[in-house]
Each structure stands twice: as structure tokens, then as C-alpha cells.
Amino acid sequence: MRKSKIIGAGHYLPERIMTNDDLSKMMNTNHDWIVERTGIEKRRWFVPGRDSVTSMALEASKMAIDNAGIETAEIDFIIFATITPDYFIPGNGVLLQRELGLQGVGALDIRNACSGFVYALSIADQYIKSGMYRTILVVGAEIQSSALDKSDEGRSSAVIFADGAGAVVVRANLDSDSGILSTHLHADGDFAEELYVKDPGSSREVRISQEMIDAGGFNLYMNGNAVFKHAIVRFYEVIMEALEANQMAVSQLDLLIPHQANLRISQYIQQKLGLSDHQVYNNITEYGNTTAATIPIAISEAVAGGRVKDGDIVCLAAFGSGFAWGSALIKW
């Protein structure tokens, strides 16, 4: 049976490091307060004039393609997950396509925020299983720092979100049983306004006005308590759903790569599943929450660091704005 296999991964992180102490100079916060609530010690913010969502995605993609051992021309479709595109329109997929010299290759944009990469990977899996495409580039890239309210009013979210890009090359595998075993996607729009950026929106009389700017509609709003409450439930559910769909037990899981939303959430899920530290990959301490980019960045680091080996059972899981959540179970 045709399976979809991740054959290469790459990532890019801006050079600009913002520590908790740096943030304490912008707003009323401190290192201990941030670490206690999020586990984050530092994060990367883009360098204006040097970094863009497209340029970061390009570097991550080139690394993924190189690690896959293929030529760029072998890519026959691009799926790009981001909620912070360089332009309002068009999406970032075509901008990356242009930079890679893949004119004519289809490019699809996904706007599922923190769950965007898992959604994108699931779509790639279906395209490959159907035989429509053979080799797909799946990307998650974000610049969140420019949308954050860096005042005292916005500190609860400003200390969390950050910038970066990750990418994987997914290819049809007919020679072995390794590859994506299953994906599972869910959403509940009842909670859409618990984590969102209100403006700009097409349903306004004008898309941009001084009144909107003054009201803070362009800044990220997050009801942290609501997000945490739902995340710890949905993360566990969707991980178990993936294992049960493949008739596997938690004990068979070699590595869990969760979306890097909050270290407290990851640790709660780890404890509930009874996993050791070696069975869960976390890098939020160093990079913060890069939304759609967190999982592909973590995949790239985990593979490079020897945390993933051939034959390992790896679970990806994400939860975020929408609310939307999902998982993917992979035999590496």
C-alpha cells in the first residue's frame, strides 16, 4: 500500500534572540514569571529588512530538500501553513514557489494556526495516497513578533509567541511499511474568539482605520485559561485517537512531538500518558511558540539530533486557534 514518508526536514530561526530579561524592559514582567507560566526562557524575533516569512521558509525548505537527497525540481506540490503571510493576498505558497524556481507547481495555503502543520501534513498524505502527487514540500513559517502587543496589557501573549520556519519533504513510499500511518483532524468554532486577531477583516466597512488600530484589533488576543483548559483535554484525546486507530498502546510510542504551545501543557500530557523525558521532544524553552512552525522545527532538530531512528513510532499533535487540533502517527 502506498504510504507518505517524510524523507527530509529543515528549519530556520532568526538570529535575533530575545530573552525574558529583554522583555522585562518593554513590559512589567520578569524571567521567573515567564518561566513559571510558560517554560520559555528565550525566543527568536525576525530581523526587519533581512527576514520575511518567505525568506525563512526558503532556508528551511532548502535544508529539507538537501537532507532528503533530492533535486528541487522533484517537488511537484507545495503546502504552506501560516497565519502571518507576507502579503494579505496572495498566500505565501506562491512566493516560496517563485523563490525555489518551481513555476507551474501548485501551491496551497493553510490557515489553521497552531494546528496548521498537522493539517497540511494530512492533506499531503491524502494527495500522495491518491496518487495525485509523488513529492510534496510541507512548510510551516510564522512572524508573530510584529503582531504582539508589547505593553503590560498584552504581556500574557507577548511573552509566548515568536518567529521561525520549518519544512519537510514528503514522498510516496512503496517499498516498506514506514511512513504516515494515519492523521486525525478536529475543530470547534464555538471558541474562535478565545484566540484570534480580529482585524483586518473583509466584513468591516473599511479594512483598516485609525479606530481599529487604537482599539487594538490588530494585536493577538488570547484567553489563556480557556486555551489551557481545552488544550490538555484535546491533546490527550487526539494522541489516543491516533494510537487506537492503529491498534497501538502508549508503550509503543518512541517519541511524541507536540506543538510547542506551553511547556506546562506538554508536561501535563507527558505525565498523563506516563512518558519519560526522552519520549517527548520540547524546544519551547529556547524558541517560544512559533505557531505553525513549531512541529516542523522540532522534527528537523529531533532527526538531526538522533532522537528519531528508522522504525520508531512518532506522534505529532497540535492544538490552537479555531479551536482546531489534530495528530499524525508515523512509523519512521
114 catalytic? Reply is: yes
Quick one: average pLDDT of 175-190?
93
Sheet holding 135-143, edge to edge: 3-12, 163-173, 135-143, 77-81, 106-110
Q: Do residues 189 and 113 touch, judged by C-beta distance below 8 A?
A: no
User: How far apart (Å, rounded) are the C-alpha atoms in residues 132 and 162?
Assistant: 35
- Give residue 33's pLDDT: 87
Instruction: Give the pLDDT band (50/70/90) at residue 177.
Output: confident
pLDDT at 150: 87
Q: Name the class of domain 179-331.
A: alpha beta
In the predicted structure, residue 114 carries a pLDDT above the cut 80: yes
Query: Could you tell me the pLDDT band of residue 161, with boundaries at 50, 70 and 90?
Result: very high
Domain positions in the chain: 3-173, 179-331
Under the banding of pLDDT at 50, 70 and 90, the label for residue 187 is very high
- The confidence band for 214, taking pLDDT boundaries of 50, 70 and 90, is confident
pLDDT at position 1 over 80: no
**Number of neighbours of residue 170 by Cβ within 10 angstroms:** 28
Q: Are 173 and 313 in contact (CB under 8 A)?
A: no
The architecture of the domain spanning 3-173 is 3-Layer(aba) Sandwich (3.40)
Over 90: is that where the pLDDT of 323 sits?
A: yes
Identify the active-site residue in 114, 173, 184, 230.
Answer: 114
55-59, 112-116, 176-180: lowest mean pLDDT where? 176-180
Instruction: Please state the rounded mean pLDDT for residues 293-305.
Output: 97
Name the catalytic one among 173, 230, 289, 315.
289
Span 47-98, pLDDT tens digits? 999 999 999 999 999 999 999 999 999 999 999 999 999 999 999 999 999 9
What's the pLDDT band for 196 if we cut at 50, 70, 90? Answer: confident
Confidence (pLDDT) at 82? 98
Q: Are 322 and 293 in contact (CB under 8 A)?
A: no
Q: What is the predicted pLDDT for the residue at 268?
A: 94
pLDDT band at 148 (very low <50, low <70, confident <90, very high): confident
CA angle 208, 209, 215 (to 5 degrees): 105
| Percent of the chain with pLDDT strictly greater than 90 | 82
pLDDT of residue 221: 83
Alpha-carbon distance of 38 to 289, in angstroms, equals: 10
Q: What is the pLDDT of residues 253-297, one digit of tens each?
A: 999 999 999 999 999 999 999 999 999 999 999 999 999 999 999
- Residues found in the chain: 332
Is 11 designated active site? no
Neighbours of 123 (CB within 10 A): 19
Q: How confident is the model at residue 244 (pLDDT cuts 50, 70, 90)?
A: very high
Whether residue 116 contacts residue 141, with contact meaning beta carbons closer than 8 Å, is answered with no
The answer, yes or no, to whether residue 209 has pLDDT greater than 90, is no
Q: Dihedral of CA 188/193/199/203: which sign?
A: positive
For 71, other C-beta atoms within 10 Å of its C-beta total: 9
Beta bridge partners of 170: 6, 136
Measured from the Cβ of residue 326, the count of other Cβ atoms closer than 10 Å reads 28
Q: Are 238 and 244 in contact (CB under 8 A)?
A: no
Cβ(327)–Cβ(238) under 8 Å? Answer: yes
Give yes or no for residue 108 having a pLDDT over 90.
yes
Q: Kindly report the pTM of this predicted structure.
A: 0.95
End-to-end CA distance of the chain: 16
Specify which residues 86 forms β-bridges with: none
The active-site residue, picked from 259, 262, 282, 315, is: 259
Supply the DSSP string of 61-104, one letter for each residue.
Answer: HHHHHHHHT--GGG--EEEEE-SS-SSSSS-HHHHHHHHHT-TT
Please name which of 256, 245, 240, 239 lies closest in space to residue 313, comparing C-alpha atoms: 256
Task: Supply the pLDDT for residue 286.
Answer: 96
- Specify the pairing of strand 324-331 against strand 3-12: unpaired
Task: Answer yes or no: same fold for 3-173 and 179-331.
Answer: yes
Query: Please, what is the angle between helix 92-100 and helix 53-68, to 10°?
Result: 50
- Cβ neighbours for 55, distance < 8 A, ≥ 6 positions apart: 99
Three cell numbers written together for 208: 483598516
- Tell me what the mean pLDDT of segment 111-119 comes to: 97
Residue 264: per-residue pLDDT: 93
CA–CA separation, 35 vs 266, rounded Å?
14
Contact of 314 with 168, CB cutoff 8 Å: no
